[in-house]
A and B are shown apart, each in its own frame.
Chain A
Amino acid sequence: DIVMTQTPLSSPVTLGQPASISCRSSQSLVHSDGNTYLSWLQQRPGQPPRLLIYKISNRFSGVPDRFSGSGAGTDFTLKISRVEAEDVGVYYCTQATQFPWTFGQGTKVEIK
């Protein structure tokens, strides 16, 4: 199974400041079709997860442009350019390149 490792696990951030989350996979996420199926999810308290970013860097419909994704191969990053109060929650990276799909442990973003 592909292991997804996120750092940090907790990220206290000042409103308006940037935040960054790293995700590393135990093997390359490049699929045989050439795509890299690495996504980022946001889970606000008491809510189901919500897709933010797919295929490393594509923002899903309705996602604010302060969220951006980057990376390649086994190393990926989610950045929030200026954290807002509504960004509080847990962020997960996930891979769908290979069954079983796997998730990172989650990174809790909270306001200082």
Chain B
Amino acid sequence: QVQLVQSGAEVKKPGASVKVSCKASGYTFTNYGITWVRQAPGQGLEWMGWISAYNGNTDYAQKLQGRVTMTTDTSTSTAYMELRSLRSDDTAVYYCARDGGTSGVDYWGQGTLVTVSS
């Protein structure tokens, strides 16, 4: 069965960076894209960007351009999201999800809480 398992919670200081991993299993990793979505406490869903696991092509949300980098490691079927220059308003649960193509964002990771606090 398809599973996306994310790395554990992180606490970071303002200005630091965080790198969240998302290990995929149960499907051919390179056949699908991965999208990253975050959710601030008590808020809705915010799309951060997308990466093709086939060729590494990316598309990022405008507001995060220059601070976010999404990568994949096809040898381990793992996707990564790195966010730099962290601010307090980056505190959120970060989700990876599989882009199922015509079936939409079909499988989600369990989420990774990133807390940014001095």
Does the CB pair A100–B104 fall under 8 Å?
A: no
B residues 17-60 touching A (CB-CB < 8 Å): 35, 37, 44-47, 50, 59
B residues 74-111 touching A (CB-CB < 8 Å): 95, 97, 99-100, 102-111
Residue in chain B with minimal CB distance to A60: B106
Residues of B within 8 A of A51 (CB): 103-108
Q: How far is the CB of B5 from chain A (nearest CB, A)?
A: 12
> If the complex has contacts A54-B102, A99-B59, are A92 and B44 also in contact, measured as CB distance less than 8 A?
yes
Does the CB pair A54–B45 fall under 8 Å?
A: no
> If the complex has contacts A35-B102, A54-B103, A100-B59, are A49 and B44 also in contact, measured as CB distance less than 8 A?
no
Residues of B at the A interface (CB closer than 8 Å) are 35, 37, 44-47, 50, 59, 61-62, 95, 97, 99-100, 102-111
Q: Mind listing 29 A-B residue pairs with CB under 8 Å? A: A35-B102, A37-B104, A39-B105, A41-B45, A41-B105, A49-B45, A49-B97, A49-B108, A51-B105, A51-B106, A51-B107, A51-B108, A54-B102, A54-B104, A55-B103, A58-B103, A60-B103, A60-B106, A92-B44, A92-B45, A96-B99, A99-B50, A99-B59, A100-B47, A100-B59, A100-B61, A100-B62, A101-B35, A104-B44
**10 nearest interchain CB pairs?**
A54-B104, A39-B104, A48-B108, A103-B45, A101-B47, A99-B59, A106-B44, A51-B106, A54-B103, A48-B111
